[in-house]
């Protein structure tokens, strides 16, 4: 992950003194253009590719450099040091990231998604059903996701909006007595778990200029962090506000359905942590899976069906007004940070945010 910050750093920067401060700032626009130009010549080779070429680790800094780096490090939160390339020794994390992208070497596609299941064999088709009747808004899934996927402070891959809808209605016999009359409550509190929908026709994949975002044959939408230049196109294209800019990796980021767990026969962390079994995960291609049974026997809905993205996260008993952008709701627990704010820059000291519209995720 940190290799991205290293790849586009300024030539000759040693990340000491003021140079270290410059290193942690987000790559400039010219750097992004240079990355696009370098990749353009081999863009055709990205189809079917699952990870970028091997990454050479940075040599350990000298004793003098390390002294200055540690002095800089002590003035920042612990995670901010991940942006300092000189501290990125070969600890195996780069190889791990390349492995979890597509450890089964499944075919991938960047367009013409109708090929999945036809010309491209689709052994599995992973989907999720969220039963809102069971969700109690405990946020256990949010905590489990952040812990499992090392999600930085202030951003989320999954989150649960807890909102209130409805109003207080005047009623002469109402139990709520005020100076201006009696009222009865028609206010309802609902929990709305949200996550990347891993759409079968994902607009985020279409708009990526360097083909860093792709869709695996099993339906999971993924990001190759080594290819991502952090342009934010996919963040803007997602109609569900499920993508965000990872301020540590300096790339786009989102839910992966815990692909590294799935490839090893495990369920996503958010599913295993739910105490009420509100999240159900499984293979739509298997008619005996719990997901298939629920889809066949329960009335389900998807978010923004009219957009034609064909989301693969389904909801049982979803309150329409909770996710209706035209209605007024009161967010009781505003867990997610707005990436258009300077909150994260304040936390990290001097790690600026992109200008793109950030997502809750």
The pLDDT assigned to 74 comes to: 62
The CA distance from 153 to 299, in Å, is 36
C-alpha torsion sign, points 107, 112, 117, 118: negative
* Cβ atoms < 10 Å from Cβ of 137: 17
Answer whether residue 91 shows pLDDT above 80. no
What's the pLDDT band for 357 if we cut at 50, 70, 90?
Answer: very low
The CATH architecture to which 3-166+188-348 belongs is 2-Layer Sandwich (3.30)
- Which residues have a Cβ under 8 Å from the Cβ of 110 and sit 6 or more positions away? 46, 47, 205, 206, 208, 211, 213, 214, 215
The pLDDT assigned to 116 comes to: 84
For 5, the token pair is: 């910050």
Segment 339-345 long-range contacts (CB within 8 Å, at least 24 positions apart): 339/155, 339/244, 339/245, 343/154, 344/153, 344/154, 344/155, 344/247
The pLDDT assigned to 153 comes to: 82
Answer whether residue 5 shows pLDDT above 70. no
73 vs 307 pLDDT, higher one:
307
Chain centroid offset of residue 230 CA:
13
Answer whether residue 96 shows pLDDT above 90. no
Average pLDDT over residues 306-313: 95
User: Which of 21-35, 63-77, 149-163 is predicted with the least confidence, judged by mean pLDDT?
Assistant: 21-35
What 3-state class would DSSP assign to 35?
helix
What's the pLDDT band for 211 if we cut at 50, 70, 90?
Answer: very high
Average pLDDT over residues 41-52: 35
pTM (2 d.p.): 0.67
Answer whether residue 275 shows pLDDT above 60. yes
């Amino acid at each position: 992950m940190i290799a991205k910050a290293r790849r586009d750093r300024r030539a000759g920067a040693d990340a000491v003194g003021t140079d270290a401060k410059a290193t942690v700032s987000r790559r400039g626009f010219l750097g992004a253009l240079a990355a696009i130009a370098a990749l353009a010549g081999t863009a055709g080779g990205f189809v079917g590719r699952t990870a970028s070429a091997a990454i050479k680790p940075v040599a350990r800094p000298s004793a003098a450099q390390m002294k200055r780096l540690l002095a800089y490090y002590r003035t920042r939160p612990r995670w901010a040091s991940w942006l300092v390339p000189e501290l990125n020794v070969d600890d195996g994390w780069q190889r791990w990231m390349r492995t979890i992208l597509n450890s089964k070497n499944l075919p991938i596609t960047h367009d013409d998604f109708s090929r999945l299941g036809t010309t491209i064999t689709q052994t599995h088709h992973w989907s999720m059903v969220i039963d809102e009747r069971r969700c109690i808004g405990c946020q256990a899934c949010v905590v489990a996701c952040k812990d499992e996927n090392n999600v930085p402070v202030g951003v989320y891959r999954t989150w649960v909006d807890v909102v209130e809808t409805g109003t207080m209605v005047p009623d002469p016999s109402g139990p709520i007595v005020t100076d201006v009359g009696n009222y009865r409550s028609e206010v309802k509190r609902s929990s709305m778990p949200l996550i990347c929908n891993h759409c079968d026709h994902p607009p985020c994949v279409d708009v990526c200029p360097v083909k860093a975002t792709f869709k695996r044959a099993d339906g999971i939408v993924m990001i190759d962090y080594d290819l991502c230049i952090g342009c934010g196109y996919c963040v803007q294209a997602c109609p569900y506000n499920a993508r965000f800019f990872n301020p540590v990796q300096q790339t786009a980021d989102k839910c992966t359905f815990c692909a590294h767990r799935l490839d090893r026969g495990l369920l996503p962390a958010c599913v295993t942590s739910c105490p009420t079994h509100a999240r159900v995960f499984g293979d739509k291609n298997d008619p005996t899976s719990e997901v298939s049974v629920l889809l066949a026997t329960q009335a389900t809905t998807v978010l923004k069906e009219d957009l034609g993205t064909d989301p693969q996260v389904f909801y049982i008993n979803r309150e329409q007004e909770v996710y209706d952008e035209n209605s007024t709701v009161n967010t009781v627990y505003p867990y997610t940070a707005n990436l258009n704010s300077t909150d994260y820059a304040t936390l990290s000291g001097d790690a600026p945010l992109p200008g793109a519209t950030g997502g809750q995720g």
